[in-house]
Amino acid sequence: MPRGALRTAGAALSPSPVVRRTAGFSRLRRPRRSPFCRVCGSFQNTMSSLLRAFLLAAAALCATGASRATTTITLATFPDLDRAARAALPRWHAAHPDVDVKIVSLQYADHHDRMTTDLATGSGLPDVMAIDFKFIGKFTGSGGFEDLYRPPYDAAGLRSVFPAYTLAQASNAKGELSALPADIGPGTLLYRADLLAKAGLTEADLTKDWPTFIAAGVKLKAATGACLLASSNDVVDIVLRSNLPPGEGIYFDRAGKVLVDDARFVRAFELGRAAHLAGIDAGTTMWTNEWVAGFRSGRIAGQMMGSWLAGHLKNWLAPDTAGKWRSAPLPGGVYASYGGSFYAIPRRAQHKAEAWAFIQFLTTDRQTQLDALRQFGNFPSLLSAQQDPMVAEPIAFLGGQAAGVLWRDTAARVPAIPVDKYDAMATDAVRAEYQNVIADGKDIHAALADAKTLIEHRARR
């Protein structure tokens, strides 16, 4: 059910479900050489090498069959993340012939619902569980996973190989690390350079600060009829992520106090409302027909999202707009991350040692990470993979812009915002009140006070 699945997606700053990241970078790989090898040119030679390979393989098969039993570990995951894991399997098998991996993939929402019930009953749990960013707070907070900082795991040594904020996201209040990041989504503003040029605007008009951004949106709308925002919610979401004191969450502070009526929220609501009143938003919800059609028709000329949106735009959202998009930093100097995926080991997993080896292979193996980038556009979580020249290659869809450099830069600057298990609930509450503000003209302070009451009620435990 593509649509239903789409639905569940895209709470701001959480990635889309079904359709997550696909090729931002994807390039066709060269066809492999035929067995009739051109270099040596000899059919006989090829035959004999084939025969040798066959005999070797047969011998290897006998050896494994005789000496050790094969272990099968289960990976529970969801599209498109499953494709990256599947593509990495041949290399995994080459290194670990005795560990087989069974991949069980369900649709985004189904996968996370199923994992919730599996954790609840403690049965049928996979050895490796893929978790999307939207659920990471809730899952790690449950304590149903191995603490990867403790022996026999040695994730403490991995602190410096991932962006710091990703490990903060995967840690719970007790300081346990429950998961390792597989890919990340550095936040960026994607905009239509052609429409901007038509209105006589430059990228600096969008990124300087919020008043300039809104003014630019008004100018753009007057000149081209296009909206700079799909929804003014996007502004609220970004402003909420700016200027956070270190160690403080978006909705809760370190002590669990609800922050929802402080100045940051007031400012976010005010700027969102200003953008809405200026008429620069198309009033569409992400991952709906209107949203998609808005990109195709050029009615929506900008979207703040994870870098992986470039891949979606290229592959299915608006392939005909190739070359017209550019990627810019988020307005007002904010560095944020949108989504990302993680791998964790449930406490009740059967084959923990093998699971740990497999997770390390998926997250800390440079080649695996780069393959996922090349084939599916998953931006690497591994810092050393981010340094690969492949990241700096120009992207045709973005008019040849080497946007990977910008995204790498953003990833390095995203602050480590602690994730709370009630974040998703708080997001819903705040969003509902924001709707009251723009649709019914509810007073901002009253709306925030109501949201705070609700969140305090829900998070009482």
Partner 1 sequence: MTSPLTSESAIAPPTPVHANASRAAWRRRARKLAPYAFIAPFFVLFGVFGLFPLLFSIWLSLHQWDAASGLAAMHWVGLENYWYAITDPWFSKSLLNTLWFAVASGVPQHLVALPLAFLIHMTLKRSRNFVVGAYFVPYVTSSVAIALIFTTLFSKDFGVINAMLPGTPIDWLGDKFWARITIAFVVFWRYLGWNVVLYLSALQVISGDLYEAATLDGASRWQQFRYVALPLLKPMMFFAITLTLIGNLQLFEEPFILIPPDSGVATSVMTTATFMYRMAFSDGDFGTASAVSWLLFFIIAALTWGNARLFGKEGASDVAR
Instruction: Give contact residues for partner 1 (rule: CB under 8 A).
Output: 1, 3-4, 7-8, 10-12, 113, 115-117, 119-122, 138-139, 141-144, 233, 283-290, 293-294, 299, 347-348, 421-422, 424-425, 427-428, 431-432, 434-435, 438-440, 450, 453-454, 457-458, 460-461
User: Residue 454 CB, nearest distance to partner 1 (Å)?
Assistant: 5
User: Residue 284 CB, nearest distance to partner 1 (Å)?
Assistant: 7
Integer angstrom CA distances of residue 241 from 141, 178, 187, 249, 267: 21, 24, 11, 9, 11
Residue whose pair of structure tokens reads 């509810």 in the numeric block: 442
User: Residue 2 CB, nearest distance to partner 1 (Å)?
Assistant: 9
- Going by C-alpha positions, the residue among 129, 247, 142, 113 that lies closest to residue 179 is 129
- Going by C-alpha positions, the residue among 172, 170, 193 that lies closest to residue 180 is 170
The nearer residue to partner 1, 119 or 334, going by C-beta atoms, is 119
The nearer residue to partner 1, 299 or 366, going by C-beta atoms, is 299
User: Residue 414 CB, nearest distance to partner 1 (Å)?
Assistant: 22
User: Residue 446 CB, nearest distance to partner 1 (Å)?
Assistant: 13
Residue whose pair of structure tokens reads 């080991």 in the numeric block: 345
The nearer residue to partner 1, 383 or 425, going by C-beta atoms, is 425
Burial of 124: CB neighbours in 10 Å, binned 0-12, 13-18, 19+: middle
Q: Is the peptide bond before 80 cis (omega within 30 degrees of 0)?
A: yes
Question: How many residues are given for the chain?
Answer: 461
The nearer residue to partner 1, 139 or 379, going by C-beta atoms, is 139
The nearer residue to partner 1, 32 or 461, going by C-beta atoms, is 461
The nearer residue to partner 1, 162 or 434, going by C-beta atoms, is 434
The nearer residue to partner 1, 170 or 193, going by C-beta atoms, is 170
User: Residue 314 CB, nearest distance to partner 1 (Å)?
Assistant: 22
Query: Checking DSSP bridges between strand 128-132 and strand 71-77, what pairing results, if any?
Result: parallel
Q: Which long-range contacts (CB under 8 A, 24 or more apart) does 202-211 make?
A: 203/326, 203/328, 206/302, 206/328, 206/331, 207/328, 207/329, 207/330, 207/331, 207/332, 207/333, 208/331, 208/332, 209/331, 209/332, 210/235, 210/239, 210/271, 210/331, 210/332
Burial of 114: CB neighbours in 10 Å, binned 0-12, 13-18, 19+: middle
User: Residue 432 CB, nearest distance to partner 1 (Å)?
Assistant: 4
Q: Is the peptide bond before 152 cis (omega within 30 degrees of 0)?
A: yes
User: Residue 71 CB, nearest distance to partner 1 (Å)?
Assistant: 24
The nearer residue to partner 1, 162 or 287, going by C-beta atoms, is 287
User: Residue 24 CB, nearest distance to partner 1 (Å)?
Assistant: 24
User: Residue 451 CB, nearest distance to partner 1 (Å)?
Assistant: 10
Plot region of 30 (φ>0 → left; ψ -120 to 50 → alpha; else → beta): beta
